């Protein structure tokens, strides 16, 4: 299948591109290096060194004999985007190309406006490009479980049947996102739903949980194929960061009470979910939503699992509760449905000791690259003029 | 009270400014003339001639002795916007300053991107300006009933209590907007809700129905105080347009079956609703939603009422069904709650014969200004490259 991968140079986009290429699909990556630009801007870095995109693609050719095509461009640039659509005539588009950090979006007004404009207009451009140049193409869009917030009822997959005053309807699940970034994904969801209905486009919106893990069957074939591993306060997510903290002998920093529960998923499952979605496209005009998670944990549960596992390496780890820089419920009900992708064939890799062990091993292997000053959060949801600065620990 | 009115030169913003000024409030208008610019661009015009904003303000000073302060600027320009916030130190901000036409937003990609960027970023800027320079100020934001779409259950005011699998919660009412413009208002609603919760701002979101009418106690005091009366395919709304069509001996153009039901409200009630919202602000951190309608009618019902009333003027009117340029349900359940503003003190002016009579009278008075080529819709929801062109009828 001809597949266009927007944001194919990122943490998920790169291993996704490799995997789909290994399965025999014709892969084209479209990327503007926004994620690498942020590192350059702030002096941040991936724990695992990563090669340039051109080096990555050359290494993959060498290892697998397969060619990945490149378009360097920005989804905000409609001319660049549509030239890729016209040339590739994609049958599926996987859309990772968004600013994906909640703390980044809360730095200040400029970062908030950038995040919403970039994500919302970029996705509008993708929808117009599909309508104009590839109307039968299947959009596979990365959303986030954070769109739902933490309602006091079970979270369903995108839609909910509501009974109200003697009548009923199946309606979009109400959204209560917790940052300017999460809001941008809610805006995308509404825009995509409308364009499917109005223009007959077909789309799968994957409300993804927090992804952990860093290795896939493809990335481990050559050091030049590695994907990034973020542990900093802006782009690092909880479990990856905890493993780095344990390897660095740094306390595991939990925000607030730590009873915040989130859906989680292994990188290998994420990649498989997208393949499954592509293999079973929705019908014309259908806007389909899956919750892309396999389990759910509280922050404290994750931290304790890492502490337990680290003892096998002779590491002594502590959990430290920080004042919560976010405005969020710290104790709440959480139960999110996630059966749609299992019905399509997903066989989850659950978070167990050996998964944690391999993650901690990776962190130990690259221990000397860890910059302890990138870890502590300096972006507070309650103020509109935050700085991202290095902290001495 | 010190009140900043964003978009105070528009159809609603201007009579709102006059009314609140007449009630003794200190009024500042902030406007960038976007609505007048569109007329200049397309050769469209208000049926009733309108004066420039400076002439309007001078006339009001002459008639009432009251001064309205002016800031000419764009909500997209944060420096301009915050200079108004800093100088005025508003206690309430009424926010009309958005691109407000669904057909405009559906012309093509450029107009879609403009509408969402202008409305969403403009409102984000207002929220940041409040947080930074007027955190106790009350935001009164114009939303639209079109955010809800036409669900098969009763529409509540912003929130709905959902019972699901043995649990319950009060959640934002699910949204199914029917155009890129209506989507922009849904995005605003989510952004405002988040900023109230995160920063403790206070806001009232008024989901307004279709407004009809053109005269208020203030605008009729002097011809220079008139507000605009739009009947064109882009900015004209159904009832106003029907009255103009009847006066011009033009068939009343109903889109599709005409069983589409919408909430409606008299201009005088709209103005009073906003006064009532201002007088009873929400508490700190509260995001409050009212449905700003007083009745609901189908398009065919409105057209038939105009036909009946026009007989009193010896006018013979016909109803003509056009192929629907929009993608929308043409037969559906519709029942929208609208008790919140009545509880605050609203006494509705319902749509009766004498209201219609006065509207038709206005249309007859300005009959010679009617350009029949502006009426027929040329923007089709199903295509992404529409032209706004003049039609010969």
| Spatial contact of B82 and B90, defined as CB atoms under 8 Å apart | no
> Which residues lie below 8 Å from residue B266, measured CB to CB, with a gap of 6+?
B211, B212, B213, B294, B348, B349, B350, B351, B355
Residue-by-residue DSSP string for A180-203: HHHHHHHHHHHHHHHHHHHH--EE
pTM, entire model: 0.98
Q: Does B198 contact A381 at a Cβ distance shorter than 8 Å?
A: yes
> Which residues lie below 8 Å from residue B346, measured CB to CB, with a gap of 6+?
B269, B272, B273, B276, B294
**Nearest Cα to B26, choosing from B278, B236, B258, B240?**
B278
All residues of chain A having their beta carbon less than 8 Å from the beta carbon of residue B186 are: 187, 190
Predicted confidence (pLDDT) at residue B393 exceeds the cutoff of 70 = no
Annotated catalytic residue, options B141, B185, B235, B253: B185
> Which residues lie below 8 Å from residue A311, measured CB to CB, with a gap of 6+?
none
At B289-327, the pLDDT tens digits run 999 999 999 999 999 999 999 999 999 999 999 999 999
Predicted confidence (pLDDT) at residue A230 exceeds the cutoff of 70 = yes
What totals of helices (H) and strands (E) does chain A contain, helices first?
12, 14
Query: How confident is the model over A322-326, as a mean pLDDT?
Result: 97
| Spatial contact of B118 and B99, defined as CB atoms under 8 Å apart | yes
Q: Does A162 contact B174 at a Cβ distance shorter than 8 Å?
A: yes
pLDDT score for B40: 94
Predicted confidence (pLDDT) at residue B72 exceeds the cutoff of 60 = yes
Pick B116's closest partner by Cβ from A120, A167, A333.
Answer: A120
At A54-99, the pLDDT tens digits run 999 999 999 999 999 999 999 999 999 999 999 999 999 999 999 9
List beta partners, residue A379: none
List the 251-310 stretch of A: residues with Cβ below 8 A of B: none
Q: How far is CA A101 from CA A32, A219, A234, B251, B348, in A?
A: 17, 23, 6, 54, 47
- Using only C-alpha atoms, what is the Rg of chain A? 20
pLDDT score for B58: 98
Give the least confident one: A387-391, B13-17, B72-76.
A387-391
- Min distance A262 CA to chain B CA atoms (Å): 19
Instruction: Assign residue B103 a region (left: φ > 0; alpha: ψ between -120 and 50; beta: otherwise).
Output: alpha
H or E element that contains A132? helix A109-133
Mean per-residue pLDDT of chain B? 97
pLDDT score for B215: 96
Sequence-ordered alpha helix ranges (H) in B134-262: 180-199, 238-247
CA closest to A191 among chain B residues: B183
Annotated catalytic residue, options A28, A82, A123, A144: A144
**Reported confidence tier of residue B391, pLDDT bands at 50, 70, 90:** confident
A78 touches chain B (CB under 8 A): yes
Tell me if residue A131 falls in helix, strand or coil: helix
At A282-306, the pLDDT tens digits run 999 999 999 999 999 999 999 999 9
Other C-beta atoms lying within 10 Å of the C-beta of residue B312: 11
Give the least confident one: A37-41, A62-66, B104-108.
A37-41
Predicted confidence (pLDDT) at residue A390 exceeds the cutoff of 90 = no
Tell me if residue B210 falls in helix, strand or coil: strand
**Percent of chain A as helix, strand, coil, to the nearest 5:** 40, 20, 40
A120 touches chain B (CB under 8 A): yes
pLDDT score for B390: 85
B172 touches chain A (CB under 8 A): yes
Q: Does A176 contact B177 at a Cβ distance shorter than 8 Å?
A: no
All residues of chain A having their beta carbon less than 8 Å from the beta carbon of residue B177 are: 190, 194
Percent of chain A clearing pLDDT 70 (strictly above): 99
The pair of structure tokens assigned to B370 is 């009617």
List the 340-379 stretch of B: residues with Cβ below 8 A of A: none
At B185-199, the pLDDT tens digits run 999 999 999 999 999
pLDDT score for A81: 98
pLDDT score for A393: 52
Residue with tokens 């800027």: B125
Predicted confidence (pLDDT) at residue B130 exceeds the cutoff of 70 = yes
The pair of structure tokens assigned to A332 is 């709440």
The pair of structure tokens assigned to A253 is 């920093």
Percent of chain B clearing pLDDT 90 (strictly above): 98
Mutate one of B76, B121, B127, B148 to test the A interface: name it (highest A CB count within 10 A): B121
At B81-98, the pLDDT tens digits run 999 999 999 999 999 999
Query: How confident is the model over A204-212, as a mean pLDDT?
Result: 97
- Min distance B199 CA to chain A CA atoms (Å): 6
Backbone φ and ψ for B210, nearest 5 degrees, come out as: -75, 125
Pick A198's closest partner by Cβ from B153, B193, B327.
Answer: B327
Percent of chain A clearing pLDDT 90 (strictly above): 98
- Min distance A390 CA to chain B CA atoms (Å): 25
The pair of structure tokens assigned to A98 is 């968004």
At B353-383, the pLDDT tens digits run 999 999 999 999 999 999 999 999 999 999 9
The pair of structure tokens assigned to B72 is 């000419």
Q: Does A112 contact B128 at a Cβ distance shorter than 8 Å?
A: yes
A160 touches chain B (CB under 8 A): yes
The pairing of strands A287-292 and A202-208 is parallel
At A101-151, the pLDDT tens digits run 999 999 999 999 999 999 999 999 999 999 999 999 999 999 999 999 999
**Nearest Cα to A139, choosing from A92, A82, A186, A200?**
A92
Mutate one of A194, A195, A289 to test the B interface: name it (highest B CB count within 10 A): A194
- Min distance B14 CA to chain A CA atoms (Å): 29
Pick A153's closest partner by Cβ from B168, B178, B327.
Answer: B168
At A155-204, the pLDDT tens digits run 999 999 999 999 999 999 999 999 999 999 999 999 999 999 999 999 99
Percent of chain B clearing pLDDT 70 (strictly above): 99
Q: Tell me, what's the ipTM?
A: 0.98
**Nearest Cα to A212, choosing from A253, A242, A175, A251?**
A242
pLDDT score for B260: 98
Q: Where is pLDDT greater, at A15 or B389? A: A15
A51 touches chain B (CB under 8 A): no
CA closest to B164 among chain A residues: A153
pLDDT score for A330: 96
Q: Does A113 contact B132 at a Cβ distance shorter than 8 Å?
A: no
CA closest to A114 among chain B residues: B121
């Amino acid at each position: 299948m001809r597949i266009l991968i927007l944001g194919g140079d990122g943490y998920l986009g790169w291993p996704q591109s490799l995997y789909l290429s290994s399965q025999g699909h014709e892969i084209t990556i479209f990327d503007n290096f926004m994620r690498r630009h942020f590192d350059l801007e702030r002096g941040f870095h991936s724990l695992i060194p990563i090669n340039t995109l051109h080096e990555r693609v050359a290494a993959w050719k060498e290892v697998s004999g397969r060619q990945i095509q490149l378009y360097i461009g920005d989804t905000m640039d409609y001319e660049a985007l549509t030239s890729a659509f016209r040339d590739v005539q994609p049958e599926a588009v996987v859309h990772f190309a968004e600013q994906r950090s909640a703390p980044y979006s809360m730095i200040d007004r400029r970062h908030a406006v950038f995040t919403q404009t970039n994500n919302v207009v970029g996705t509008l451009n993708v929808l117009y490009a599909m309508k104009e140049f590839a109307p039968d193409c299947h959009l596979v869009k990365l959303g986030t479980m954070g769109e739902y917030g933490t309602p006091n009822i079970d979270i369903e997959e995108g839609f909910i049947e509501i009974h109200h005053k003697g009548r009923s309807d199946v309606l979009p699940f109400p959204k209560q996102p917790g940052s300017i970034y999460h809001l941008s994904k809610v805006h995308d969801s509404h825009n995509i739903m409308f364009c499917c209905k109005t223009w007959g486009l077909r789309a799968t919106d994957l409300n993804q949980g927090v992804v952990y893990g860093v290795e896939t069957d493809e990335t481990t074939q050559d050091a030049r194929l590695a994907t990034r591993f973020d542990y900093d306060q802006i782009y690092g997510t909880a479990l990856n960061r905890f493993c780095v903290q344990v390897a660095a002998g740094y306390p595991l920093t939990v925000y607030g009470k730590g009873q915040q529960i989130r859906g989680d998923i292994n990188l290998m499952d994420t990649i498989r979910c997208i393949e499954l979605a592509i293999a079973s496209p929705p019908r014309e005009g259908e806007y389909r939503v899956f919750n892309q998670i396999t389990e759910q944990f509280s922050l404290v549960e994750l931290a304790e699992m890492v502490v337990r596992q680290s003892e096998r390496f002779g590491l002594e780890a502590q959990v430290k509760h920080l004042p919560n820089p976010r405005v969020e419920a710290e104790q709440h009900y959480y139960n999110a449905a996630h059966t749609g992708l299992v019905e399509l064939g997903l066989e989850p890799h659950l978070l167990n000791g050996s998964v944690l062990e391999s993650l901690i091993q990776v962190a130990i292997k690259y221990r000397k690259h860890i910059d302890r000053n990138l870890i502590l959060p300096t972006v507070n949801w309650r103020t509109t003029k935050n700085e991202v600065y290095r902290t001495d620990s």
